[in-house]
């Protein structure tokens, strides 16, 4: 089993319009609502990859009931309501505009303790864990790092995909795998790398301090993986166009699937699969799904380059 932890879930709303322009009325072509949040998206993609998952985190009763219709879930009911995220998807060129609500504050003084107990109880049956997404009010930035420490102490490979102070604290946990995007990497390292080689230089101090791997996502430019054993970049000859929302979650699903299957993964091969899986999410207008045929088609086209460390 692979466990995903989503502490600030959301109802994902997708409005499709012909072309979005500020300051005018739009006729919405279609509307789609689904349960979401980064960990939920990871779980959905893992299911498409044939991996059994369980989702936990915080929710309200209505969200947990809706999630249970789709996934095995075990939420702590500690939110008074669940936020919404709105994506305006333009049909003419696939451009996506996102509006993300901040989320409610947890309404119980022992919510974090309950989540720790829930996760700890699931770890003996878990082969991999992903902690991802933002934190609701009342949850301190140290919580993701505490969850990661518990999982790694149980021998469970863990990805932490968070931001800000939470990412800084998670980066202090030996053995963790981090998957920051460009902005998150800048806030973590203070550097703005523009090339794969610069990314390696920015990340190397984290590896030296004990981080197992950093897989930096670079949008259409692909990804860079840095470990103690080497560094590689991977990208497609041409970037995919479409909705990038959820592409990072799809990549996280591919990475944790590989780590759960093999304690010593082939990092270049893992990176190829992550790039292809991420691209297969871009062509889908909603987050949390991939086009498996596109993933299979693109895998041979991914170009991997070994980088100097």
Rounded CA-CA distance 44/64 in Å is 15
Q: What's the first-to-final CA gap in the chain, in angstroms? A: 34
Give the pLDDT confidence of 13-57 residue by residue, as tens digits. Answer: 889 899 999 899 999 999 988 899 999 999 999 999 999 999 999
Helices (H), 173-243: 182-189, 196-208
Structure confidence at residue 308 (pLDDT): 86
Give the pLDDT confidence of 121-147 residue by residue, as tens digits. Answer: 999 999 999 999 999 999 999 999 999
Structure confidence at residue 309 (pLDDT): 74
Structure confidence at residue 195 (pLDDT): 94
Say which residue the tokens 């709303």 belong to: 13
Structure confidence at residue 220 (pLDDT): 86
Structure confidence at residue 286 (pLDDT): 75
Structure confidence at residue 283 (pLDDT): 87
Pairing of strands 213-217, 177-178: parallel
Structure confidence at residue 102 (pLDDT): 85
In 78-186 the beta strands, taken as DSSP E runs, fall at 83-90, 96-100, 128-132, 158-161, 177-178
Structure confidence at residue 181 (pLDDT): 94
Residue 282, phi-psi category: left (phi > 0), alpha (psi -120 to 50), beta (remainder): alpha
Structure confidence at residue 212 (pLDDT): 98
For each successive 10 residues of the chain (309 residues), what is the average pLDDT? 97 90 92 91 95 96 95 96 90 82 89 97 97 95 98 98 96 97 94 94 96 94 95 92 84 97 94 96 84 94 91
Structure confidence at residue 130 (pLDDT): 98
Contact residues for 118 (Cβ-Cβ < 8 A; gap 6+): 56, 74, 76
- Provide the token pair at 206: 């984290």
């Amino acid at each position: 089993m692979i466990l995903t932890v989503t502490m600030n879930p959301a109802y994902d709303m997708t409005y499709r319009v012909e072309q979005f322009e500020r300051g005018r009325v739009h006729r919405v072509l279609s509307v789609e609502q689904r349960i979401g949040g980064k960990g939920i998206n990871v779980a959905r993609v893992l299911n498409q990859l044939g991996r059994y998952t369980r989702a936990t985190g915080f929710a309200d009763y209505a969200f947990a009931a809706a999630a249970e219709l789709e996934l095995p879930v075990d939420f702590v009911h500690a939110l008074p309501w669940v936020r919404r995220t709105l994506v305006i998807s333009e049909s003419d060129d696939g451009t996506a505009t996102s509006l993300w609500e901040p989320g409610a504050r947890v309404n119980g003084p022992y919510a974090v303790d309950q989540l720790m107990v829930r996760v700890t109880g699931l770890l003996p049956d878990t082969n991999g864990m992903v902690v991802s997404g933002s934190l609701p009010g009342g949850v301190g930035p140290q919580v993701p790092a505490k969850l990661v420490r518990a999982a790694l102490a149980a021998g469970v490979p863990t990805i932490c995909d968070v931001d800000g102070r939470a990412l800084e604290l998670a980066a202090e946990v030996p053995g963790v795998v981090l998957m920051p995007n460009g902005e998150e990497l800048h806030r973590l390292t203070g550097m703005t790398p523009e090339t794969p080689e610069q990314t390696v230089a920015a990340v190397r101090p984290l590896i030296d301090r004990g981080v197992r791997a950093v897989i930096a996502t670079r949008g259409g430019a692909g990804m860079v993986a840095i470990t103690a054993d080497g560094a590689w970049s991977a990208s497609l000859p041409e970037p995919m166009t479409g909705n990038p929302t959820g592409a990072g979650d799809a990549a996280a699903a591919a990475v944790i699937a590989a780590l759960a299957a093999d304690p010593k993964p082939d990092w270049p091969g893992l990176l190829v699969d992550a790039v292809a899986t991420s691209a297969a999410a871009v062509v889908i207008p909603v987050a949390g799904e991939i086009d498996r045929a596109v993933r299979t088609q693109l895998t041979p086209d991914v170009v991997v380059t070994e980088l100097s460390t």
